[in-house]
Amino acid sequence: LARSPALPQTPYTRCHRVNNPARGAHDRSKRAGMASFQHGMHQAHDATNPDDVGTSPAELKRVLAAQQAAAIANGPPAVAERVRRLELAINLLLDNADEITAAVAKDFGVRPEKVTRFADLLMALESCKQARDKVAAWAAPQRRVVDFPFNLVGATNYIEYTPKGVVGIVGPWNYPVMLVIGPLASAFAAGNSVMIKPSEYAPATAAILGKLVNAAYDETVAHVCNGGASVAAAFCALPFDHIVFTGSTTVGKLVAKAAAENLTPVTLELGGKCPVIIGADANIANAAARVAHGKVLNAGQTCLAPDYVFVPRAKRDAFIAAFEEAVSSMYPDGVLDSADYTSVIDGRHYARLRSMIDGAAAAGCPTVECLGGGGDGKPRPAADACRIPPTLV
């Protein structure tokens, strides 16, 4: 596999199933596992479950078979072809930036245009440009030392990176462009074709990605498959040569379990908890401002957003005051009415966050909602606006 930030450097291998007298029992177990996976995906996403109409299981299998057949028939694509695919992705992002930005805003309700252009579009573009500029070096054979006695007879030794084949990409909703196009860039640089399953919780973005990608690329190179939890379950159960998943730990376990049925290797980028440790001699105002900047980006819906702070007890109140001041300086007219503050993605996530805050308050834990400058006297938006200010517990 060509050297790539998203995928491990392992050779392209293909597993073949052999006839087995226990096959019937295995298939029944696999069907039961698929049902469990779909149930788990529904629970892990939303009890209301978005519309699951989308790419059918038969269509998923057909596209995969077409991509696998093309990979075998055509062999590894030349560096020039990989560059062409990457430049096409760059042009799709540049030429359709306004439409993509509007789709992301529609999914969130409120999401600042500058956040989408920076955190989604620019980051995706940089991934594609880096891969385009470095693919020739990544794909080149690497010489290695020849051991005695073969070095005496003119032997050569090198490592050659070859594509795995077809890579399945399952994207999340929090950065629905960057976390799809980034893995796509890595897969293209490595000479693979891709099938993409965007998050159903960013349906407008998924739709525009499907329209653009499926029109620009032959389906044997790249294809977007849309749909809900059952489509995601069927997608992850396909015998890909590699799966890249970004999302929660709960769903990541389900993806890994489904992939294991086909011995498909996975790259899982799962949500983490990001502590901030503030030393006794730290500048509290600077530290609080930096934490606030990291937390308000995308309303904290970022895997590397700071989640909790360890601060010397004697400086706790000073940190709280400095954090409130930092938020007020960023939002002088208030947070909740600001078009520069992102909404929570949907009602389920809003209710989950709201219950955590209310539960902490009910248990006697002090909570501080940072409403920004002039925000205290303003009426709160309705719950369906999914607006939660930065809150310290």
Q: Is the pLDDT of residue 276 over 90?
A: yes
Q: Tokens for 188?
A: 């293209």
DSSP 270: E
Q: How far apart are CA 237 and CA 244, in angstroms?
A: 13
pLDDT in tens, 290-338: 999 999 999 999 988 999 999 999 999 999 999 999 999 999 999 998 9
pLDDT the model gives residue 19: 34
Q: Is the pLDDT of residue 393 over 80?
A: yes
pTM of the model: 0.85
Rounded to the nearest integer, the mean pLDDT of the chain is 88
Q: Across residues 178-198, what is the average pLDDT? A: 98
Which tops the pLDDT comparison, 347 or 4?
347
Catalytic site positions: 269, 303
pLDDT the model gives residue 378: 72
Beta bridge partners of 369: 391
Residue ranges with strand state E in the chain: 142-143, 158-159, 166-170, 193-197, 222-224, 242-247, 266-270, 275-277, 308-310, 368-369, 391-392
Percentage of the chain with pLDDT > 90?
80
pLDDT the model gives residue 34: 52
pLDDT in tens, 36-53: 555 555 544 443 444 456
pLDDT the model gives residue 253: 95
Name the 3-class secondary structure at 276: strand
79-95 helix and 178-189 helix, angle to the nearest 10 degrees: 160
pLDDT in tens, 65-97: 999 999 999 999 999 999 999 999 999 999 999
CB-based contact 164:192 (threshold 8 Å): yes
Q: How far apart are CA 187 and CA 86, in angstroms?
A: 10
pLDDT in tens, 135-183: 999 999 999 999 999 988 989 999 999 999 999 999 999 999 999 999 9
CB-based contact 203:104 (threshold 8 Å): no
Q: Is the pLDDT of residue 30 over 70?
A: no
pLDDT the model gives residue 379: 75
pLDDT the model gives residue 40: 56
pLDDT the model gives residue 143: 93
Q: Across residues 260-270, what is the average pLDDT? A: 96
Which residues have a Cβ under 8 Å from the Cβ of 248 and sit 6 or more positions away?
Answer: 44, 270, 271
Determine the distance from the C-alpha atom of residue 67 to the mean position of all C-alpha atoms in its chain, rounded to a whole number.
23
Percentage of the chain with pLDDT > 70?
86
pLDDT band at 195 (very low <50, low <70, confident <90, very high): very high
pLDDT the model gives residue 15: 34
Which amino acid is it at 32?
Answer: A
Q: Tokens for 319?
A: 């940190």
Which tops the pLDDT comparison, 125 or 303?
125
pLDDT band at 35 (very low <50, low <70, confident <90, very high): low
Least confident of 54-63, 279-288, 367-376: 367-376
**Residue whose C-alpha is closest to residue 111's, from 392, 390, 387:** 387
